Amino acid sequence: MKLLETLLNGLSSGSTYAMIALGYTMVYGIAKMLNFAHGDVIMVGGYTLYVSAVMMGIHPLLALLLAIICCAVLGVTIEKLAYKPLRGASPLAVLITAIGMSYLLQSVAQMIFGSADRMVRLFDLGRITVGSMQISTYTIITLACSAVIMAGLSLFVKYTRIGRAMIAVSEDKDAAQLMGINVNFIITITFAIGSALAAFAGFFMVLKSPPVNSTLGAMPGIKAFTAAVIGGIGSIPGAMLGGILMGIVESFAQTNPVIAPFTVAIEFSILIVILLVRPSGILGKKRREKV
């Protein structure tokens, strides 16, 4: 029973990671860059929830909608201001700009809200007892929501015009452009979707633990990024798999008091081991450089 509980907890935090990892992976697939600022978009989502739901007293679900819109707009703005001018420049330059952007968002948030934690209590979620097992409602909500979102996203990419255009752009940007796909538009959409997913992740994180501060997204961001790489960056199912794997490892490690302090070390060691065995991640595809 204890085992099942841990597994469920792992699945729910794993699906939060998966949400964030999806953002990383989609942006990587389309724009071929690591959006280091992605984790901080979660933080902006958290603060939006704080401002709307706690300060202004809007209904939490409406607040979530607001957070999604805010994050999507923010994601697109970041892309337009910081990344678009660098399209075609050295990838290293883009990566460093992304790191700078992450810093910028954190500093701005800290300037506006200070360094103290802000409490965001949205719902009073109880616990459900199934047999001898106690499951928090949060776990179930997270699992259900993320399952729906991920299924929706997969269908969207597979079956809609825009989704197929996304695959085309990720395969070959120039060829896609020649085929009449508006590459700029597709990149914008990708950033919007990725950031909206980050807002969802922020919502789940706030449900789990209310305090919000300017580094809310930093560590989950790095972990989710790790998850995306483990799953094979650029691959949507890979991001889901990696995220859930990460969550389960984390939750099992934390139940054991001896290895609990080393959770982070264990997670990152798994990353290194997996990359050494399969350099492109579990589901990633390897492409050789043409000679």
Partner 1 sequence: MSKLKNIKWKQYIVYLVLVAVACYFGVFGLQQNLNRSTTILLEKAAVAMILAVSLNLVVGFLGELSLGHAGFMCVGAYLGAKTALALTAAMGPGNELLVLVICLLVGGVAAAACGVIIGLPALRLRGDYLAIVTLAFGEIVRSLFENLPDEMFGGSLGQQSVRYDRYQLFIIGFVLVILTLAVLQNLIRSKHGRAVTSIRDSEIAARACGINVTKYKLLVFTVSAFFAGIAGVLFSFTQNKVQPTTFDYNYSIEILVMVVLGGMGSLNGSLIAAVLITYLNEELQIVLTGDLAVLRGLLYALVMILLIIYRNAPALKGFREKWNMKRFIDRMRKHDPAKIHDDEAKWDRVPTKIMVDEVLSVDIQTSSPYTPDKRKKEED
Looking up tokens 């909500």 gives 141
The least distance separating partner 1 from the CB of residue 13, rounded to whole angstroms, comes to 18
Closer to partner 1 by Cβ: residue 71 or 166: 166
Contacts of 89 (CB under 8 A, 6+ apart): none
Sign, CA dihedral 269-275-278-280, equals positive
Looking up tokens 């995220």 gives 243
For every residue of 261-281, DSSP letters joined together read GGHHHHHHHHHHHHHHHSTT-
| C-beta of residue 218 within 8 angstroms of C-beta of residue 40 | yes
The least distance separating partner 1 from the CB of residue 146, rounded to whole angstroms, comes to 18
How many of the chain's residues bind partner 1 (CB under 8 A)? Answer: 71
30 sits near partner 1 (criterion: CB under 8 A): yes
Which range of residues in 125-133, 195-203, 242-250, 280-288 is near partner 1 by CB under 8 A? Answer: 280-288
Element (H, E) at 5: helix 2-31
Q: What is the footprint of partner 1 within residues 201-260 (CB under 8 A)?
A: 218, 222, 225-226, 229, 232-237
Q: In 3D, which of 8, 20, 10, 11 has the Cα closest to residue 201?
A: 20
Closer to partner 1 by Cβ: residue 136 or 235: 235
Q: What is the footprint of partner 1 within residues 65-84 (CB under 8 A)?
A: 82
Q: Give CA–CA dist 17/22, Å, rounded.
A: 8
The least distance separating partner 1 from the CB of residue 160, rounded to whole angstroms, comes to 12
Strand partners, 212: 118
Which range of residues in 63-71, 135-143, 164-172, 246-254 is near partner 1 by CB under 8 A? Answer: 164-172
88 sits near partner 1 (criterion: CB under 8 A): yes
Looking up tokens 């990708």 gives 190
For residue 215, what is the DSSP state?
T
Treating both helix axes as pointing N-terminal to C-terminal, what angle do 183-208 and 218-231 enclose, rounded to 10 degrees?
A: 120
Interface with partner 1 (CB under 8 A), residue from 73, 89, 133, 151: 89
Q: Is 65 exposed, middle or buried (0-12, 13-18, 19+ CB in 10 A)?
A: middle
Closer to partner 1 by Cβ: residue 88 or 180: 88
The least distance separating partner 1 from the CB of residue 203, rounded to whole angstroms, comes to 25
Interface with partner 1 (CB under 8 A), residue from 65, 69, 86, 135: 86
34 sits near partner 1 (criterion: CB under 8 A): yes
Within 10 angstroms of residue 272's Cβ, the number of other Cβ atoms is: 10
Which range of residues in 47-55, 132-140, 151-159, 192-200 is near partner 1 by CB under 8 A? Answer: 151-159
147 sits near partner 1 (criterion: CB under 8 A): no
Token reading at 268:
């990152």
Closer to partner 1 by Cβ: residue 65 or 104: 104
275 sits near partner 1 (criterion: CB under 8 A): yes
Q: Give CA–CA dist 110/149, Å, rounded.
A: 31
Interface with partner 1 (CB under 8 A), residue from 157, 199, 216, 241: 157
Q: What is the footprint of partner 1 within residues 95-124 (CB under 8 A)?
A: 95-97, 99-101, 103-104, 106-108, 110-111, 114-115
